[in-house]
Every structure is written in structure tokens, then in C-alpha cells.
Amino acid sequence: MTTPPFRQLFYASRCAPGVDVDRIVQQSRHNNAVDGVTGLLWYQDGLFLQVIEGPESSVAATFARIAADPRHDELTILSDRPVEAREFGYWSMERAQTGSSDTDALLARLERRLSNAPESVRQAFTTAANR
């Protein structure tokens, strides 16, 4: 039996007050591209939902940085699973939130990306998108 080549971790956290979310996304895109991590960050009303996926060691290192980051509070892992293939393709870090000009297009892409994800992951993003 072989181990799937990727790990996908889905978590929620509260954002510390006054945090520049765009800066987090820029930093994440850079770090994730270097580490071979892809994913999605959803931010709304002080709540982060994020999926990170990639090689086991890269996801572990990325999540360790997130867990130590004081900009995150109440960090909760919602799903942590091995995956055979990336579900977020080449998104080194996509940012999503309701009310942006391309929300409908992003939600359609997100729905396609989540088609193979566990129900809990799909439901969390669907709930966040419809708030």
C-alpha cells in the first residue's frame, strides 16, 4: 500500500484585530510557491477558513508557521487528510470573500475545486460564502 503524495489540511481561525489580510495573502502566495503548497484562504467578518495542500513536509511546516502566528486565534483543524491529487491546482494562495467584484466566478471555480472534497469541507465553504 502506497501513501498518497499529498496532504490537505483545512482549518478555521479568528483573525486578530487590525490585521492586514491582503498582506497575509501576499506573504502566503510567496511562501507557498516556494514550498509547493496550494490552497485557498476565505476571510469574512474576522474568520479565516483555509485549505492548504501539498507534500506532507511542506504542509506540516506551513501549518506550524500558521499555528505560531499571533495574527491567528482559536485555531481549529476541520479536516486533515491524504489526497492523491491537488484539489486547488495552481492556486498558490487564492483569497476569497463575499462582496468582491468576482465573487460569482470565484465561487464557481471553488465549487469545481471542492467537488472531491469531504462534505465537511464543502459545507464550511458553502456556509461562509452564503453569509
- pLDDT, tens only, 70-113: 988 899 998 899 988 888 776 655 555 555 566 667 667 667 76
Starting at the edge strand that comes first in sequence, how are the strands of the sheet with 47-54 ordered? 72-83, 6-15, 47-54, 38-44, 94-96
Q: What is each CA distance from 35 to 24, 53, 56, 57, 65, in whole angstroms?
A: 16, 10, 11, 9, 12
Tell me, yes or no, if the pTM score tops 0.85: no
pLDDT at 30: 85
Cell of 48: 479565516
Phi, psi of 12, deg, nearest 5: -125, 150
Please give the Cα distance from 81 to 104 (Å, whole number): 28
Are 89 and 111 in contact, with CB atoms under 8 Å apart?
no
Cell of 126: 458553502
Q: What's the length of the chain?
A: 131
Cell of 58: 511542506
